[in-house]
Amino acid sequence: MLLRVICIALSLAGSAAAQEVDVQEGRDLFMTHCWQCHGLDATGDGPMAEMLAITTPDLTRLASRNNGEFPLEAVARQIDGRDPLLAHGGEMPIFGPFLDTGSAVALRPPSGQPMMTGLPLANVIVYLESIQEE
């Protein structure tokens, strides 16, 4: 599937090589931190899912549940914990301190404002976008 989120890597403090967003890196992060709940294929059937009080969402249908458009901002907020709802105790751990670090990257949704995230978070997001099903 074609990635609709265009990523621009900004080099910080004049560092020589701008960091590139990398779907494979994002997949590796998912296979380290996320599959336990969301499942190896991200459909929501990981081994920890049944221990949670609420249903673990299928991450391959984020776009189809949002009229075909990948909900970039909502996804980023959910993962890094910026979503105010999470401050009231969601089931999902907050990964911001962990993933929203390193070089700053601008993710550009098809519509709306560019959004700055750390490179690891951007990688996870482009991985999720790459696995969207109709």
Task: State the Cα–Cα distance between residues 50 and 117, nearest whole angstrom.
Answer: 31
Please give the residue ranges that form the binding site for ligand HEC (CB under 6 A).
Answer: 30, 33-34, 36-38, 48, 52, 54, 56-57, 59, 62, 74-75, 78-79, 90-93, 95, 124
Nearest CB to ligand HEC, comparing residues 103 and 131: 131
Radius of gyration of the chain (CA): 15
Nearest CB to ligand HEC, comparing residues 38 and 103: 38
Task: State the Cα–Cα distance between residues 82 and 99, nearest whole angstrom.
Answer: 12
For residue 21 the two structure tokens come to 């967003």
Which residue has 């709940």 as its token pair? 37
Nearest CB to ligand HEC, comparing residues 15 and 110: 110
CB of 67 to ligand HEC, least distance (A): 14
